[in-house]
Amino acid sequence: MGVVTVGLWAWSWAWPCTDAEVLLRAVQVSAYEAQLARLRALLERGEAHRQTLEYEVAVVKRDAAAQRTCSEDKMADLLKHNQQLEGKLTVCVCLSRVQKEQERRAEELRVKTSELKTRTDRVEELEREVEVRTRTDRDLEENVESERAAHLESKFNSEIIQVSGGVGGL
């Protein structure tokens, strides 16, 4: 019985083998062991590559989670800022409305002031007219009184003349 030991492998055959067969089997075993070593090395490189990829995936997931958190924080800040701006816009709109209302009231006040000035001017004009007419009425009353006095004097003189002429003619 022949025993062949090649590397880690040992075979024993129950049948008689020639040296050429043993040598052939040894070469085959050696080739298989080399192929097995290459496959193990390839497997180890594949395992190392898998671990590297798993690590990279973990790093990417961690970075993505950090970016997502940062993005969510930025979104929350933007929403808060947007709400503040909307509040300021509401205040601005209200102030704009108040300003427009004040401008409208100021215009109404200008119109009423103008109307009041026009009416005041008209009242002053009418007062001057009343004063002129009052003077004219006083002057006319004075003329009427002086005419009446002149008429009474003339009538009195006529009566005196009639009375004197009537006494002398008797």
Q: How confident is the model at residue 165 (pLDDT cuts 50, 70, 90)?
A: confident
37-51, 54-68, 111-125, 135-149: range with lowest mean pLDDT? 135-149
Give the chain's end-to-end CA distance (angstroms, integer).
219
pTM score? 0.40
* Average of per-residue pLDDT values in the chain: 86
Residue 52: DSSP 8-state: H
Q: Pick the more confident residue, 147 or 59.
A: 59
37-41, 58-62, 152-156: range with lowest mean pLDDT? 152-156
The per-residue b/e assignment along 125-139, b for 16 or more CB within 10 angstroms, e otherwise, is eeeeeeeeeeeeeee
CA atoms within 13 A on the CB side of 76: 6
What pLDDT is recorded for position 1? 43
What pLDDT is recorded for position 118? 94
Q: How confident is the model at residue 126 (pLDDT cuts 50, 70, 90)?
A: very high
pLDDT at 127 over 90: yes
The CA-based angle 15-20-21, given to 5 degrees, is: 40
Sign of the Cα torsion 83, 87, 88, 89 reads: positive
The residue ranges of every structural domain in the chain are: 2-148
